[in-house]
Copies of this chain bind each other. A is one copy, B any other.
Amino acid sequence: MSKVQPRTLSGFLELLPGRQAQFERMAAIIRESYALYGFTPLDTPLIESSEVLLAKGGGETEKQIYRFTKGDSDLSLRFDLTVPLAKYVSLNYGKLAFPFRRFQIGKVYRGERAQRGRFREFYQADIDIIGDGKLDISNEAEIPSIIYRTFTALGLRRFMICVNNRKVLNGFYAMLGLSEKSTEIMRTVDKLDKIGAEKVHSILEEELHVPKEQALEILRFVDIHGSSQEILTALEQYRGRHELFDQGLDELKTVVQYLAAFGVPEDHFAVDLAIARGLDYYTGTVYETTMLDHPEIGSICSGGRYDNLAEYYTDKQLPGVGISIGLTRLFFVLEDQGYLNDALNTAPADVLVLPMTEDMGPSITLATQLRAAGIRTQIHGEQKKFKQKMAYADKIGVPYIAILGEDEIKEGAASIKDMTSGEQKKLTYEQAVTEIKAGLALRNQGTPVLDK
């Protein structure tokens, strides 16, 4: 028979079993963390009607969409989890309780140019809190705590949650009478780190025709640095000059005020006036999260407050706040930078039972008892030499093996070998269960990520 060459499409991540187990552990921790904050899991179709999915239309993403017809339906694969959420909330508005808190961890599709570390199919792990008409600022204040808890549970330590407020930015440009130019100004100011203050100043004056005095005020404003409290104090000097600014400053103060009660340590949080997160969508608090030792990776968890989740589907005002972790990319980066904890137990089983007699009954009985105690167990029933069986045990990296030869069976026992220490003991089935459970509890303490 002529063969087809098996291959996986480029831009599509497909992991070997050990790596996949690490990925799953990370996803499970994110899921658990999101659930702790009272978010309910959602699962929406990967395919939507193009009319619905692309209601917003246009833009950079449209070229990347996987769009096709089936019968006479014009269909598209989802490219994020936000548009499907907007559809879901509009569609089920009457059946949901607001604020509606949902998380979704799912694959999305973007036909980007394939390159290292860029994926066409990738997981996003999103949370959003959607209000009906209004949404209290306390929801925005809670987000840094969710980010902190999630990344800490994964094992990350050296990261910084950076926060800003779009009302502070927009209010500041409004008080200078520069609202109309604010988009271009922010785009210019964004290059400060790359091109320097002098160059920014000259672009502001010469290209954007910002009067000198105001250009200097902008540069002073974006130069405000320090602790959260120092920044808030510095911002107080602008109070009273524009309502939107004052409101943003109050919101930012509320977010900072509740940090300690939310359990976020000060050294993992910063107010950063340079963060804007796109130019239209967000309207209040905005978030970025960076790895201190790898700023070049960019933000690993971003989001913010928006005023209108679903304006393309409904007249209802549905403000919300949400964040997203690009899980596939994060996993790729962590692997690439050597952050994955390879001491983690990623074997398919905790125990491999090796029957050494023709009658496998006793081996099966032991396996059944181990499984009843929650211990993941394989029975290796293949007709192979002991050496080959041990090679298999090594290859899957199983923590324990249980050998059942004639002697063990006569005694109602099993020889349990700890594959790390090499220690081997003859134990009754009950003892084996107890001993292995205790050993696994120690082994499984680690986090999927190891950060110095």
Residues of A within 8 A of B (CB): 1, 3-9, 12-17, 20-21, 23-24, 35-49, 51-52, 55, 66, 68-71, 73, 75, 86-88, 90-92, 95-99, 101-102, 107, 109, 111, 121, 131, 134-139, 142, 145, 149, 257-258, 261-263, 310-315, 348-349, 352, 360-362, 364-365, 368, 371-372, 374-383, 392, 395-396
* A378–B101 CB distance below 8 A: yes
* A41–B21 CB distance below 8 A: yes
Q: Which of A47, A142, A372: most chain B Cβ within 10 A?
A: A47
Contacts of A149 in B (CB 8 A): 371
CA distance A31 to B7 in the complex (A): 27
Partner of A3, one of B15, B95, B315: B315
Partner of A138, one of B46, B381, B396: B381
A-B contacts besides A3-B312, A38-B377, 16 pairs, CB < 8 Å: A4-B51, A8-B91, A9-B49, A17-B40, A17-B96, A17-B102, A21-B40, A37-B378, A45-B121, A135-B382, A136-B383, A138-B360, A138-B364, A145-B368, A258-B364, A261-B368
CA distance A39 to B107 in the complex (A): 23
Partner of A46, one of B92, B121, B134, B383: B121
Contacts of A107 in B (CB 8 A): 46
* B312–A1 CB distance below 8 A: yes
CA distance A20 to B106 in the complex (A): 14
Contacts of A14 in B (CB 8 A): 43-45, 88
Distance in Å: Cβ of A328 to nearest Cβ of chain B: 10
Contact A311-B1, Cβ < 8 Å, known A41-B20, A361-B261: yes
Q: List 28 A-B contacts (CB under 8 A).
A: A1-B311, A3-B312, A4-B55, A4-B313, A6-B52, A6-B310, A6-B313, A8-B44, A8-B91, A9-B49, A9-B73, A13-B45, A35-B376, A36-B371, A38-B348, A38-B378, A47-B66, A68-B68, A70-B111, A97-B392, A102-B348, A134-B383, A136-B383, A137-B381, A138-B364, A138-B381, A261-B361, A263-B372
* A360–B1 CB distance below 8 A: no
Q: Which of A37, A38, A258: most chain B Cβ within 10 A?
A: A38
Partner of A377, one of B12, B37, B44, B364: B37
Distance in Å: Cβ of A53 to nearest Cβ of chain B: 9
Distance in Å: Cβ of A89 to nearest Cβ of chain B: 9
* A142–B17 CB distance below 8 A: no
Q: 7 shortest A-B CB distances, which residue pairs?
A: A138-B381, A68-B68, A38-B378, A38-B349, A40-B348, A261-B364, A97-B395
Q: Which of A6, A20, A258: most chain B Cβ within 10 A?
A: A6
Contact A368-B45, Cβ < 8 Å, known A8-B87, A36-B377, A111-B71: no
CA distance A380 to B100 in the complex (A): 11
Identify the closest chain B residue to A139 (Cβ). Answer: B381
Q: Which of A39, A87, A97, A136: most chain B Cβ within 10 A?
A: A97
Contacts of A87 in B (CB 8 A): 6-8
CA distance A360 to B312 in the complex (A): 35
Distance in Å: Cβ of A43 to nearest Cβ of chain B: 6
Distance in Å: Cβ of A147 to nearest Cβ of chain B: 14
Distance in Å: Cβ of A228 to nearest Cβ of chain B: 17
CA distance A368 to B142 in the complex (A): 10
CA distance A55 to B6 in the complex (A): 9
* B68–A43 CB distance below 8 A: no
Contacts of A39 in B (CB 8 A): 348
Contact A9-B75, Cβ < 8 Å, known A38-B377, A46-B46: yes
CA distance A382 to B37 in the complex (A): 16
Contact A42-B20, Cβ < 8 Å, known A51-B4, A382-B131: yes
Contacts of A381 in B (CB 8 A): 136-139
CA distance A24 to B27 in the complex (A): 14
CA distance A8 to B262 in the complex (A): 38
CA distance A424 to B382 in the complex (A): 60
* B377–A313 CB distance below 8 A: no
Distance in Å: Cβ of A223 to nearest Cβ of chain B: 32
Distance in Å: Cβ of A444 to nearest Cβ of chain B: 13
Distance in Å: Cβ of A82 to nearest Cβ of chain B: 14
* B95–A16 CB distance below 8 A: yes
